[in-house]
Amino acid sequence: MENILANRYEVQQQLGKKAGRQTLLAKDLKTEELVIIKLLSFTSDFQWDDLKLFEREAETLKSLSHPHIPGYLDYFEINSPEFKGFALIQTYISAKTLEQYLQIGRKFTEIEVKQIAKSVLNILIYLHSLHPPVIHRDLKPSNILLGDRTGNNVGEIYLIDFGSVQTVLATEGTGTRTIVGTYGYMPQEQFGGRTVPASDLYSLGATLIYLVTGSHPADLPEKDFRIQFEEVTNLSQNFTNWLRLMTEPSLGNRLRSANEAIIALDKPQLPIKTNTKLTSKKPNDSKIKLTKNRYLLEIIIPPSKLQAPRIRLSIATIFLIYIISFVWNATLLTVNGQTFFWIFLTGILFLMSLYIFNLFKSIILRIDQDKISIHYDFFGYDIYFYPPAYRDDICLLQRIRTYVHKSSKKSSSLEIKAQIIIWAGTDKNFIIGNNNDLVSEPELDWLAQELSEWLNLPIRTE
């Protein structure tokens, strides 16, 4: 390996090395400043995915501008007898990694760990708020730098190594996803090639657990995929709860954003979400059809039975239309009696069509690998009232039981019917059971449990 690259960068020392990659400390002979050089070499075990990730890191750093993220300086190809590959030049930050501090025996107090947590979360808020969001995917102690202590502050925090970074656009238009990350710091969804901003939160939580225990998360006991760190630490209950929420295996139970996490960190009390166990047995008299396999879950709610309240409502509505049309004809119109007849007939036909639709429509909720949708099936015709949503956006499974909400006025109250709400983001929800869909409480319990197990989401009951 030559000592001066591109006739400009004089190599000082090697900082790290792994298969096909090197990290070097060098001096920029033009500016007289130290820089970091990351090299990707065309060795015998070279794979095109390595080059794709390396180029993505360069493009990402080039687009970022944050005081606690290394700055992009240059990117070029090297083709010499000694080395063939690519070089990425970035600014040098004079600081040790958290991993290095732990290896030399440094202990971190709870206050210091909280300061580190807030600093990293502020960096993640910047990254995740970009368009498209930038997900680091390999947040761990060796990728976080800590500067020298200043007063009561633990020191400046920097996030480095964007070699595993993912953006939303990076996964669009491809049939496969590259699985990257470090065992012990990767959440469950990342093993399946799926990452969301909350995946970085899990990695940060696992990193902080390493700081307070001195042990890698993979070396700690595990129960139901949860890291069991509580017995080997002496933390406040609030911070313990917060770390649990950061490292929840299920996305639905985990804190969802860096903003939410930084607000929750200062709360005196934190609710621990629990997965309420409901019956998983289908009621004997249920006509609902449930189909599920590894790739698909589909719920078909058949047409509702004819109900006496609906018959009374229909008769009352027909009578109301008759009165309105009669008054309209008598006071506003001066044409012959045929006008009254056609207005009355049109109202009846419209009402009958709505009533027939309600009698013969089936409700179909469908979730596959990519999206969730709910629509009506009417004699083979699919009618969508709400657009589908991405399955990755599903974040909450809510089971609401029938209850009466009373307002401040004693004479006013509102009955809330039993239902299941599947939240996909903050502005989309898909509902099973409501004022019009006759689904029993046992059926809703059964469907909620099936959805919870298939989506790997907890059930929030209200």
- The residues annotated with a catalytic role in the active site are 138
Which whole-number Å values give the CA distances from 158 to 93, 143, 148, in the listed order?
Answer: 8, 8, 12
* Euclidean distance between CA atoms 457 and 393, whole angstroms: 12
Q: 414 and 431 in contact (C-beta within 8 Å)?
A: no
**Which residues does residue 144 pair with via DSSP β-bridges, in sequence order?**
159
In a 10 Å sphere around its CB, with 0-12 CB exposed, 13-18 middle and 19+ buried, how is residue 427 labelled? exposed
Helix axes 197-213, 237-246, angle to 10 degrees: 140
Q: 423 and 391 in contact (C-beta within 8 Å)?
A: no
Helix (H, G, I), strand (E, B) or coil at 451: helix
Nearest to 211 by CA among 229, 228, 197, 226: 229
Strands 459-461 and 394-400: parallel
The DSSP output letter for 375 is E
Residue 405: how many other CB atoms lie within 10 Å: 9
Helix (H, G, I), strand (E, B) or coil at 459: strand
Q: 419 and 431 in contact (C-beta within 8 Å)?
A: yes
* Euclidean distance between CA atoms 190 and 196, whole angstroms: 9
Q: 421 and 398 in contact (C-beta within 8 Å)?
A: yes
| C-alpha 199 chain-centroid distance | 8
Q: 120 and 157 in contact (C-beta within 8 Å)?
A: yes
Task: Give the count of alpha carbons within 13 A of 132, CB side only.
Answer: 13
| C-alpha 319 chain-centroid distance | 51
The DSSP output letter for 282 is P
Structure tokens at 318: 């027909």
Nearest to 18 by CA among 35, 3, 39: 39
Task: Give the count of alpha carbons within 13 A of 286, CB side only.
Answer: 19
Q: Which runs of E-coded beta strand occur in 19-151?
A: 21-28, 34-41, 72-79, 84-91, 96-97, 134-135, 144-146
Radius of gyration from C-alpha coordinates of the chain: 30
